[in-house]
Chains A and B, each alone.
Chain A
Amino acid sequence: MKMMTPNTEADLAQIIASAQGPLHLFGGGTRPIGAPAAGEALSLSALSGIVAYEPGALTMVARAGTPVAEIEAALAAEGQRLAFEPMDHRGLLGTAGTPTIGGVVAANVSGPRRVAVGACRDFLLGVRFVDGTGRVLKNGGRVMKNVTGYDLVKLLAGSYGTLGVLSELSLKVLPAPETVTTLTLHGVDASGALEAMTRAITSPFEVSGAAYLPGDAPRALLRIEGFAGSVGYRVERLKTLLADLGEITQTDTPEQSAAIWQAVRDVDTLADCPTVWRVSMTPGAMVKGLLPALGDDPGPYQLDWAGGLCWLGGDAGAADMHARLQALVADRAVNGGGGGHATLVKGDAALRAAVPVFQPEPAPVAALTRGLREKFDPKGILNPGLMG
């Protein structure tokens, strides 16, 4: 495939300013989420490199095409990390290539720790981007507290390149913990897991991950991170708190823990499913509303975010299931008034072209969304149609 690959932000702006038709944006090309986008391929991979990193201020500035691995390595060298734990989509989506930080931000990708510390968008301090007319714009900055003007930083996060092409990002980072361990509660069903995850996450004993894997050996997983003394203390308190719910075991090493949570993060359990949805609802609505509504066998799934996130696997070309799922999520009788959304993260191109990949929005919200797109991309050339 012929691909334009600008080396500088100025070149990027020039390409967009002079574009005659749609552009299809790529970071590392590892996350083909959304309706199949047409257009000339534009890669951001050459806009790469860490621009500034100040460990004492917990901030990093990097160009959008910088590989996530490069950023994580630089942070690890100073005992720090991206706390929102971005998922690597390659296993689930069967893609190759190099995940980039721009791709992470464009899709607002977070992992299991999101439930405790916030999403990618919560750690994004500033952006530089090129809008659909070729203007280079900036918003936010590289300090942790900033309310100067409108927060376009959050608007750009998760906009999949449809409002502007990210060129540079400023991130808040956090210290990596001294140690980590995982408690596993065995033999629980979804309701039991919800009870365990809720007790844990509403306790003062700070868990940084709460997930549920059903199947032949159903189990709830709780992650505890921090200084060794503190982790030891919290583990004991949590064991006591959950003792009546089933058998609890603990990992022996931090490496075991890391492997467990990487698998949860990357949704390894659903890697073989041709179709995968990602559903966000309140934990209560997910377990008491959505899962029962899907029938006796909801199919393969896993819960994360203490039950607030469900990954659901389906058959190839499951358009009916897709429609049903988005209708259920929007139904107040199912979502309990807390709202939610279901996104088709994985599916063949025909399915992604045929259905609304993202949860359809109520008319007033859709009108605002449309209005914003017209302002940021008046020519309609940035990943047009990708988000519907």
Chain B
Amino acid sequence: MDMPAPNPAIMGLKDRLVARLLAVLPTDAVIHDEAETRAYECDALTAYKCPPLAAVLPATTEDVSEVLRICHEMGVPVVPRGSGTSLAGGALPTADSVILGVARMTDVLETDYVNRVIRVQTGRTNLSVTGAVEEDGFFYAPDPSSQLACAIAGNIAMNSGGAHCLKYGVTTNNLLGVTMVTMDGTVVEIGGAHMDAGGLDLLGLVCGSEGQLGVVTEATLRILPKPEGARPVLMGYDSNEVAGQVVSDIIKAGVLPVAIEFMDRPCIRATEAFAKAGYPDCEALLIVEVEGSDAEIDEQLGLITQIARKHNPVELRESTSAEESARIWLGRKSAFGAMGQINDYMCLDGTIPVSQLPYVLRRIGEMSKDYGLDVGNVFHAGDGNMHPLILFDANKPGDLERCEAFGADILRLCVEVGGCLTGEHGVGIEKRDLMVDQFAPHDLDIQMAVKDVFDPKWLLNPAKVFPLAASAARRAA
């Protein structure tokens, strides 16, 4: 994947830029030493690296405004960064850009149980938002698997999801307001602690805009009362078709589980070897979790297992204790680590209509043979969000490129069957050049026109989301 060549004129401004940044920020908040800027050379898409011109770590909205105003005046691109856990290269810098990291902005600003909201600085990690309210019986619902590390800023940028969004929705459904700074340093308050927009829904537009419209410094998030309990059931089937049918039948029966997770055979075998969770050796495995009181859980699981039995499972394991529940989740939660034990992997996240599941899995299997690369599938089946993990060897010349080509083919397949390129990770640089497979030129143009409004000079995270060729004229202007 290409990045635009750095602008030497901007790189020549480094000393003056650093001096101006140091005039508004503490010394330790401006990182410009070449060795130290390396800490910001990549995010979790580690195949691509480039140290930035400098990195800044502001502490307040006012700091962020000052930094952006300076960079705007000097024409220096800015790449916002949460915790750097993006799998799509969303926080990848260029050599002529400044990384604006929100890692020092971690305060809880307000907790309000009557109105069921929490207001935080956006450098705060996802899990520590829940941590701030769980003693009082509340939680923040979106739960991306990187939740221990990932920041709310990044969650908003990518509109992150998680395993439980079938019931609770993704970030955009749980975000009520933001304080955002646009590239020229203007501080904008959008939304609040109340519900729904008064005018145009700018909040919905900002969420998922990959740090291209503004830097979100504070967020008001909806918090929910914790359910009384939750319990999973595990079921194994000897075909993906049947497992797909079970998912569909459960949903049609009127049960709304909080999670329906799916693993295919390559993934089951890898996790078994790694985590020894006692999963059956079968073609497809489902973990379905429901919430409520014990009696409510029994009622729902009764219906679910009744449906499961009709389809002749090779295994059906109901949990009767917290330990059993943990064992059922153990393999699923270790899946990425297990695949990582075998080799390097690339994790995709295309989404498909649930009905297309068996066909897509069969096609992925065929492509896997063609490319000579193994792939395991683990995903959120309730909402069709796939996570194919393609294994490759980063030290083997050509393997990364082959893996990327395979990945691109899988994502094109997702689009072809009526789905999309990315369900929760974002486009970043990873899927940028595939956007033309999902969108017609006009569809991309209207999105870029939105960026024109918020960031007319295209200085904020400019080389992301849109194919470089499509955005070239705007970036050059």
Which of chain B's residues 310-368 have a Cβ closer than 8 Å to chain A? 351-355
Q: Mark A196-213, 1 if CB is under 8 A from B, else 0.
A: 001001111000000000
Say yes or no for B450: interface residue by CB 8 A criterion: yes
| Contact status of A144 and B204, CB under 8 A, knowing A79-B254, A309-B195 | no
Chain B residues with Cβ below 8 Å from A358 are 198-199
Chain A residues with Cβ below 8 Å from B419 are 141, 143
Chain A residues with Cβ below 8 Å from B248 are 56-57
Question: How far apart are the CA atoms of A280 and B190 in the complex, in Å?
Answer: 14
Say yes or no for B215: interface residue by CB 8 A criterion: no
Say yes or no for A1: interface residue by CB 8 A criterion: no
From A2-10, A86-94, A337-345, A347-355, the one touching the partner chain is A337-345
Chain A residues with Cβ below 8 Å from B446 are 131, 135, 137, 139, 152, 375-376
Question: How far apart are the CA atoms of A359 and B460 in the complex, in Å?
Answer: 30
Q: Are A227 and B300 in contact (CB under 8 A)?
A: yes
Contact of A371 among B188, B203, B295, B453 (CB under 8 A): B453
Question: How far apart are the CA atoms of A339 and B172 in the complex, in Å?
Answer: 18
Say yes or no for B123: interface residue by CB 8 A criterion: no
From B8-16, B48-56, B223-231, B281-289, the one touching the partner chain is B223-231
Contact of A152 among B177, B425, B450 (CB under 8 A): B450
Shortest beta-carbon distance from B180 to chain A in Å: 9
Q: Are A148 and B438 in contact (CB under 8 A)?
A: yes
Question: How far apart are the CA atoms of A371 and B213 in the complex, in Å?
Answer: 13
Q: Are B423 and A158 in contact (CB under 8 A)?
A: no
Q: Are A145 and B380 in contact (CB under 8 A)?
A: yes
Q: Are B116 and A143 in contact (CB under 8 A)?
A: no
Chain A, Cβ-Cβ closest to B214 = A368
Say yes or no for B401: interface residue by CB 8 A criterion: no
Q: Are B204 and A145 in contact (CB under 8 A)?
A: no
Shortest beta-carbon distance from B228 to chain A in Å: 5
Question: How far apart are the CA atoms of A335 and B192 in the complex, in Å?
Answer: 10
Chain B residues with Cβ below 8 Å from A135 are 442, 446
Shortest beta-carbon distance from B163 to chain A in Å: 11
Question: How far apart are the CA atoms of A149 and B423 in the complex, in Å?
Answer: 11
Question: How far apart are the CA atoms of A59 and B138 in the complex, in Å?
Answer: 30
Say yes or no for B431: interface residue by CB 8 A criterion: yes
Chain A residues with Cβ below 8 Å from B191 are 339
Shortest beta-carbon distance from B224 to chain A in Å: 9
Question: How far apart are the CA atoms of A359 and B198 in the complex, in Å?
Answer: 6
Q: Are A151 and B159 in contact (CB under 8 A)?
A: yes
Say yes or no for A174: interface residue by CB 8 A criterion: yes
Shortest beta-carbon distance from A234 to chain B in Å: 8
Q: Are A147 and B423 in contact (CB under 8 A)?
A: yes
Q: Are A150 and B450 in contact (CB under 8 A)?
A: yes
Q: Are B423 and A151 in contact (CB under 8 A)?
A: no
Q: Are A339 and B447 in contact (CB under 8 A)?
A: no
Q: Are B354 and A175 in contact (CB under 8 A)?
A: no
Say yes or no for A35: interface residue by CB 8 A criterion: no
Shortest beta-carbon distance from A297 to chain B in Å: 24
Question: How far apart are the CA atoms of A372 and B197 in the complex, in Å?
Answer: 16
Say yes or no for B117: interface residue by CB 8 A criterion: yes
Say yes or no for B422: interface residue by CB 8 A criterion: yes
Contact of B189 among A136, A146, A233, A339 (CB under 8 A): A339
Chain B, Cβ-Cβ closest to A115 = B195
Say yes or no for A295: interface residue by CB 8 A criterion: no
Which of chain B's residues 144-166 have a Cβ closer than 8 Å to chain A? 158-159, 161, 165-166
Question: How far apart are the CA atoms of A178 and B256 in the complex, in Å?
Answer: 12
Q: Mark A10-27, 1 if CB is under 8 A from B, else 0.
A: 000000000000000000
| Contact status of A361 and B169, CB under 8 A, knowing A152-B450, A203-B225 | no
Contact of A375 among B169, B170, B439, B450 (CB under 8 A): B450
Q: Are A118 and B115 in contact (CB under 8 A)?
A: no
Say yes or no for B452: interface residue by CB 8 A criterion: yes
Chain A residues with Cβ below 8 Å from B425 are 147
Say yes or no for A308: interface residue by CB 8 A criterion: yes
Chain A residues with Cβ below 8 Å from B453 are 368, 371-372, 374-375
Q: Are B443 and A229 in contact (CB under 8 A)?
A: no
Shortest beta-carbon distance from B446 to chain A in Å: 5
Say yes or no for A269: interface residue by CB 8 A criterion: no
Chain B residues with Cβ below 8 Å from A143 are 351-353, 383-385, 418-420, 423
Q: Are A151 and B172 in contact (CB under 8 A)?
A: yes
Q: Are B198 and A149 in contact (CB under 8 A)?
A: no
Which of chain A's residues 357-388 have a Cβ closer than 8 Å to chain B? 358-359, 361-362, 364-365, 368-369, 371-372, 374-376, 387-388
Shortest beta-carbon distance from B27 to chain A in Å: 31
| Contact status of A158 and B435, CB under 8 A, knowing A143-B420, A143-B423 | no
Say yes or no for A223: interface residue by CB 8 A criterion: no
Chain B residues with Cβ below 8 Å from A145 are 161, 165, 170, 351, 380, 383-385, 423-424
Question: How far apart are the CA atoms of A204 and B225 in the complex, in Å?
Answer: 6
| Contact status of A150 and B196, CB under 8 A, knowing A135-B442, A202-B116 | no
Residues of A that sit less than 8 Å from B by CB: 54-59, 78-79, 108, 110, 114-115, 118-119, 121-122, 131, 135-139, 141-155, 157-159, 163, 174-178, 194, 198, 201-204, 226-227, 229-230, 233, 280-285, 305, 308-309, 335-341, 343, 358-359, 361-362, 364-365, 368-369, 371-372, 374-376, 387-388
A-B contact pairs, 12 of them (CB 8 A): A56-B251, A147-B170, A147-B424, A147-B425, A150-B209, A154-B204, A159-B201, A233-B295, A305-B195, A339-B177, A339-B193, A359-B198
Which 8 residue pairs spanning A and B have beta carbons closest together? A339-B192, A154-B204, A341-B198, A56-B248, A338-B193, A145-B423, A371-B453, A175-B254
10 additional contacts, CB 8 Å, given A108-B196, A110-B196? Answer: A136-B442, A138-B439, A146-B423, A150-B447, A151-B159, A151-B205, A152-B446, A155-B450, A340-B192, A365-B188
